[in-house]
Structures are given as C-alpha cells and as structure tokens.
Chain A
Amino acid sequence: MKKWLYRDLPSWLLIVPSLLFFVVFHWQPIVSGFVLSFFETKGYNAVRFNGLQNYIDVISNSVFQQTLVNTFMYVIWSLIIGFLVPIVVAIMINEMANLQAFFKFSVYFPGMVPGVAAALLWTFMFDPGPGGLLNMLLAKLGLPMSQWLQNSHLTIPLIIVTMTWRSFGGTVILYLASLQGVNHELYEAAAIDGAGIRKRVRHITIPQISPIIGILLILQIIGVFQVLYEPLTMTEGGPNNSSMSLMLTSYHYAFRYFEAGRSLAVGVITFLILAVLTAVYFRIDKRANAD
C-alpha cells in the first residue's frame, strides 16, 4: 500500500490543482448548501439546526404543489415541442448537398442572443394588444387576436417555444457531429438493397445515433427542469402562478425574502428529483442495451 502510494506520488501531485478546483468550486458549495438546508438561516449564516423544518415549510406552501406540477409540465412540453426538432433538422442539414454551412450557422444563431435579451424580445412579440407583433400577423390573416402569455393555458408551452428557439441550434450541432460519424458504407449497402430515405433513417441513422439521443434527452430534462430566467423575465411566474417553476421559487426565497435555508431546501428537492429521474433512465437504458 505504502509503496504503491510512494510510487504514484508525482501523479497525485499533478492532479492536486484540479482536485482543489473541484472541491472548492464544485463540491464544497454543494455540500454546504445541502447542510445549510437543514438550518434556520440568517442571511447565509446557519443559526440553529432545525431538521426538516425548511423542507416542511417549503413543501407545505400552498403554491408548491402547483409549482412542482408546472415544472414537470415544462419538461413534458419541452419534450413534445423541443425534443424532435433538433433531430429532424440535423438529419435534414446532413442530407443537404449545398449550403450546409449556412444552415448550420442559421440554426445556431439564436443561441448567440443573450438569454435575457431573447426573453424580452419574445415578450414584445407576445404583446397581447393589437400592437403586438404576432397579434398584428394574426389580424392580417383575419384571425382573432390571442392573449399569448396572459392565457394561463398557453404560458408554459409558449415559454418552451422561446427556449427551443434559442437552444435547439446547439443540440443540432451535436447531432450533426454524431451523424457525420455514421459509416457511409451502411447507407450505400442499404441503397443497393433498395431502401428509401425513410427506411435508411429508421434502420440506420436513428440506431446509429441513439446513444447521443439518450444523453441529450437526459441533458434536456435536467436543463429544462431548472428553468429560471425565462419565466423570471417574461412572466415572473404569472399569471396566477401558472408559470412558476421550482428554481424560480428558490430564487424568490433567496433574493426576495432572504431565506437561504428554504431556498436551498427547494434546490435539494430539485436535485433529488433529477437524481431519481436520471437513475431511472440509466436503469431503462441498461436493460434496453442488454436485450
């Protein structure tokens, strides 16, 4: 044991900086946040251990249930609206003979717009009066105007549309990279066997990129589950809490009411839900691969 440690000492020394980095900037905040969530806090100082009281307060809050449901609604809508789009677009761009670079740039372009600016931009488009951009369009087409974000049934799907618009480009690039790794001989062989485009996509493309589809699915769920600044800037959780998300609740606890303990309790709850979801996914994935 000792001999082994001695032999490896130089390599240990080499990883010390990155280990320190992880401990100080990644793990320490997570651990101390976890610890603080069990304390009554004054600012960020732990005043008194109060067990699960923060969790009880947070969960028993009358808006919490709706917030939890909303957060899942964000995820579900993001899967409905945003999950297939990048796959389809990536395959389309991959099949193009010309202008690939132009389309790659075009789909990625919205991702370069700063997030809050994009949210404000969409708020202008969604303005519910006759002066709103989308309402002007509807009026030109002779359709009735919409209340957009003020219609509580539409709030979450519309926020998801803006999020998809902004972020699907990055996902497309990842899919494209993976698509370009698919062996061309497979396509040629399939073409010789008389497979059309649909069959080629179904039997070659999708299976070949399925690992990355799985990973991006998990990343998307994790990302959308923590949705914060879109509702913060566009609706502030309204109307009537219909777009309130867990992270926005956490934000309000911390910065509006100065209750760090409760804010962190919400954070830990979010973390636990995501951990469970991820574990479930890997279990399913493993079983599917084993079959």
Chain B
Amino acid sequence: MRNGKLLALIAALALAVTACSSGGNNGEAGGSQEPSATASGSAPPASESSAPPSSSETKEFVFNNGDWPKPQDKRLAQFEQWKAKFESENPGVTMKTENFSYDTNTFLPKAESGQLPNLFGTWFTEPQKIINAGYAADITEYMAKYGFEQALNPAMLDLVKKDGKIYGIPSNGYYMGIWYNVNLFKQAGLLDEKGIPKYPRTYEELAETAKIIKDKTGKAGFFFPTKNNQGGWEFMSIAWSYGAEFEKLENGKWKAVFNSPEAVEALQYLKDLKWKYDVLTDNVLVEVNDMFRMFGTDQVAMAFGGTDWMNTPINDYKMSKDNLSVSAVPAGPKGRVALSGGNLFMFSANSTPEQIDAGFKWLKIKGVSPDVNPESLKGLEETLASDQKLNRIVGPHGMQAWVNKERVDAENAIREKYKNVDLALWDDYMKNEGVTIRPEEPVNAQELYKTLDAVVQAVLTDKNADPKALLDKAAADFQRDYLDKAKG
C-alpha cells in the first residue's frame, strides 16, 4: 500500500518534470524564435528583389484580418465590399476575418497562445508594452515600401518606434478636449444665442460652470474617472496646465517630480471639485464607460473627451448626435495642455512577410494610406458616407495621421461633403488654439496612472486628505517601485 503510493508519486513527478521541461523547451523555443524573427527581419532586403513578383501571384496563404466589425455592426456591408475587392485584387490570398477588439485583459492570453490575427488594432498607450513583450512584427521595410513612413505625422510615428524600427501604423489621433452635454447646458441657460455652450476658459471657470449646472438641473456638472488607471491618465491634463511635471531625466536617471507645489495645487483643485463645489458624480469610483452612460443619458454635463469616443454614447445609449459639443481644454495657471492619444494597427509577431504585405494592401483599400488618388480616398469616403447614414457624427476630426498637404486637403473636402453636425459645436476643439499637445510620460505610464488613481481616489473620498502628503508618498513610492529600476 505504502509502496503503491510512493510509486504513484514517482510516476506523477516524472510526468510533471517532463511536462515542465517541455514547458521550459517552449520557453527556449520562444527565445530562439526571436533571433530567427530578426533574421527574417534582416533577410527581406535580400528577398525584396525576388519575393514580391513571386509572392503576390503564386503563393497561396491565409491572411487573418482582425480589423473587422462586430456581426451586428451596421458597417459590416461596407467591410464586405472591401473584402470582395481585396480578394479579387489578390488571388491566392484567403482573408479570414475576426472582430478583434483590443482589451488589456484578453490580449496577453491571445498573444501567448498564438491566437492574434495578423493585423490588429490597438491604442497609443499599448505599443511599447506590446513591442517589449515581443508580440509585434517589425514592419520598417513595408513602411518605406508603401511610402507610409514619410507621410505619417512624425509625433505619432514616434509612438510605434523602438530602436529605430517601426512596429505599427498610427491611423488616427486625438487630443483631450472637454465634452459638453448640450441638453443640460440648455436647461441651465448656459447656451449663447447661436445655441453653442458657453465654454469655460479656465479650470476655475469650469468649476463655476459645473456648479451652475448642478444648482439648476440637479445633475452632476463634471465627470472625473478614478478607476482602471483612468484617474491618473486624465489628471495629467489638469496637472500639466498647472505647471506640474511627472518624470524628469536627470544625469541619466529618471526622477519622480510630481510632488511639486504645482502638482499639489492641481490635486487641490480636484479635491475642491468634490468638497468645495460638489459638482462631481455621487459615486466617484467610476471609469470612462460610466461616463458614456451618464453623458449619453443626460446625467452629467461635462467630461474630458476627444473625437475617438464621439460616437460611443450615440451607439450605446442612443444619444442624439447634436447633443455633443466639444471645446479645447481650459487653461490652468500655466496655460493649456492636452494629453494626446489615438489608434494604430500592428501585426502579430508570427506573421509572414506575405501576410504583412497583405495587411498593408487591406489598409490601402480601406483608405488608411497617404495616397490621394480617388481609389485610396474611396475608403475614407465610404466610411463617412455610411457613418452619415447611420446618424453617427461626421465632420469633426482629431489629429490627422497623414500630414502630406494633398492628403489633408482631400480629406477635408470629403468631410465637408458628408458632414452632418453643426461644426460650430466643434470649432473650438478643432482649432485647439494655444493648446500644447503632450504625449504620455515615457516610463511606466500605466503604473504611474495606477499610483495616481489611488491619490485621486483618496482626495475624492476623504474630506480631510492632505494632497501634499499624498503626492509626497506617491512620488517616493513610484520612484522606488519603478523609476529606480528604469533604464535611463
């Protein structure tokens, strides 16, 4: 009996060890795959001369396209047309489609198990993380081949570069502005004679405007998220305009400097929104999805937002497209500063050169390219035409990805043709006058946001919280936990 138990244990251990050593092998294989991936990355210059003529015509392969709408999405018909076009132009390529919506919770398991589509979309905070984890393919060669590299907005291109190599294609960008719920502004008597909300021009004015809304309508004046790293993320725009800095490179070492008097002042402002003006939502443990719900149903009057979210409350909460007005961010004591972000496409690391090439062709059909011939603009035009038909907002734009002049002019002409909202509601945001646009902090931005989330939650839930003490501790912690370990 005892022997039997022992034997079973030994058998199990042996199995476990083999299983685990095979796991180890996988790890090594992953490691050895890397060099081969870079080898293939360096190989293409040689193959460039030979590959294209043969690969585009003869080789048959499957291209997994993650850039595809949900089945119930009304844009589906449009995508089907593009797909038919793609397949007729590229015989031999079978396109398999998948609605891949980037989600930080599911990305890692998908990437790890090799389930990523060849082409997938994500947003600006993610590429460095994805590149570092080795899940994105180096596409430098194709960026040059298709002329994307020269035409892209250089500030946006920087976000997808590492060590001089390019790993992504930024498709659109935004910078933070302030959203206004026109219905609530109307109820509070805060519209001018043209029906445009009276925009607060400073953060102080924003607090007072929010107070008027709260007094007259009983609804929350301003929305500020505090969860899922969004509290720290939105706090940036306010703090910068108060003159605060977060990370500073000194003698090759990163320093956390967000316990400055300026940062304390910005945090005090946020605290006042809750305890002095009382204009925030009752529940402060909220995130941006709560904002879409509350904004879309006239429960909150103002919030940080840009163009990339503009259709979410319309889609999800049946808000009218004319209920949204957007201005540039208000000014703090040190001017106006807006955080920027946006969307991009990447290729999974296990994509073959042919699959990457197919991805670029797909994007060109969709109009994600610097070309201005009618063929390439057709994609954009079709997108806007279908958006217009679906009563989604058409007309306003955020940061433009393609900065060659012909492209900019051509895009504007198309937008003008399909526009369906009163652009006076958007003018202030699109002009964005006097606003400095800043990208996210370079080191451990997500961890920084998490650290600041806690600080923001503290001042919004505890009337006696001391902003200075909280920031001192947060800066010291962030320094020790992350910056001391960062490479200069």
List the one stretch of A20-28, A88-96, A210-218 in contact with chain B: A20-28
Residues of A within 8 A of B60 (CB): none
Q: State whether A43 and B105 are in contact (beta carbons under 8 Å apart), knowing that A24-B19, A240-B461 are contacts in the complex.
A: no
Whether a CB of chain B sits under 8 angstroms from the CB of A239 is yes
Q: State whether A47 and B31 are in contact (beta carbons under 8 Å apart), knowing that A23-B12, A61-B481 are contacts in the complex.
A: yes
Whether a CB of chain A sits under 8 angstroms from the CB of B23 is yes
Residue pair B477, A63 in contact (C-beta under 8 Å) = yes
Q: In whole Å, how far is A221's beta carbon from the nearest beta carbon of chain B? A: 27
Residues of A246-286 contacting chain B, CB below 8 A: 252, 254-258, 260
Whole-angstrom CA separation of A8 from B7 in the bound complex: 12
User: Which of the residues B11, B447, B454, B485 comes within 8 Å of A240, measured between beta carbons?
Assistant: B454
- The 4 A-B pairs of least Cβ separation, nearest first, read A129-B282, A62-B477, A239-B457, A45-B30
B99-116 near A? 1/0 per residue, CB < 8 Å: 000001101100110000
Q: In whole Å, how far is B134's beta carbon from the nearest beta carbon of chain A? A: 5
Whether a CB of chain B sits under 8 angstroms from the CB of A208 is no
Whether a CB of chain B sits under 8 angstroms from the CB of A150 is yes
Q: State whether A44 and B112 are in contact (beta carbons under 8 Å apart), knowing that A132-B282, A152-B462, A258-B133 are contacts in the complex.
A: yes
Whole-angstrom CA separation of A212 from B229 in the bound complex: 43
Q: In whole Å, how far is B407's beta carbon from the nearest beta carbon of chain A? A: 35
Residues of A within 8 A of B15 (CB): 19-20, 23
Residue pair B104, A255 in contact (C-beta under 8 Å) = yes
Size of the chain B interface, CB-CB below 8 angstroms:
54
B297-321 near A? 1/0 per residue, CB < 8 Å: 0000000000000000000000000
Whole-angstrom CA separation of A143 from B15 in the bound complex: 63
Q: State whether A28 and B20 are in contact (beta carbons under 8 Å apart), knowing that A150-B284, A239-B457 are contacts in the complex.
A: yes
- 6 A-B residue pairs with Cβ-Cβ distance under 8 Å, sorted by A, are A19-B15, A32-B23, A43-B135, A45-B27, A46-B24, A239-B457
Whole-angstrom CA separation of A129 from B300 in the bound complex: 14
Among B228, B453, B461, the one with the most A-chain Cβ atoms within 10 Å of its Cβ is: B461
Whole-angstrom CA separation of A15 from B12 in the bound complex: 12
Q: In whole Å, how far is B349's beta carbon from the nearest beta carbon of chain A? A: 10
Residues of A within 8 A of B460 (CB): 150, 239
Residue pair A240, B455 in contact (C-beta under 8 Å) = yes
Residues of B within 8 A of A235 (CB): 227, 285
Whether a CB of chain B sits under 8 angstroms from the CB of A238 is yes
Whether a CB of chain A sits under 8 angstroms from the CB of B4 is yes
Q: State whether A28 and B16 are in contact (beta carbons under 8 Å apart), knowing that A8-B4, A128-B283, A252-B450 are contacts in the complex.
A: yes
B1-31 near A? 1/0 per residue, CB < 8 Å: 0011001100110011001100110110011
Residues of A within 8 A of B37 (CB): none
A220-234 near B? 1/0 per residue, CB < 8 Å: 000000000000001
B21-55 near A? 1/0 per residue, CB < 8 Å: 00110110011000000000000000000000000
User: Which of the residues A35, A61, A130, A256 comes within 8 Å of B446, measured between beta carbons?
Assistant: A256
Residues of B within 8 A of A205 (CB): none
A27-67 near B? 1/0 per residue, CB < 8 Å: 11001100100010011111100000000010011110000
Residues of B within 8 A of A131 (CB): 282
Q: In whole Å, how far is A164's beta carbon from the nearest beta carbon of chain B? A: 21
Whole-angstrom CA separation of A22 from B133 in the bound complex: 31
Supplied contacts A23-B15, A260-B108, 4 more A-B pairs, CB within 8 Å: A32-B23, A62-B477, A62-B481, A129-B282
Residue pair A256, B104 in contact (C-beta under 8 Å) = yes
Residues of B240-273 contacting chain A, CB below 8 A: none
A64-81 near B? 1/0 per residue, CB < 8 Å: 000000000000000000
Q: State whether A238 and B19 are in contact (beta carbons under 8 Å apart), knowing that A42-B30, A256-B229 are contacts in the complex.
A: no
Residue pair B458, A129 in contact (C-beta under 8 Å) = no
Whole-angstrom CA separation of A31 from B283 in the bound complex: 43
Whether a CB of chain A sits under 8 angstroms from the CB of B480 is yes
Residue pair A42, B283 in contact (C-beta under 8 Å) = no
Whole-angstrom CA separation of A257 from B27 in the bound complex: 20
Residues of A1-28 contacting chain B, CB below 8 A: 1, 4-5, 8, 15, 19-20, 22-24, 27-28
Residues of B within 8 A of A234 (CB): 285
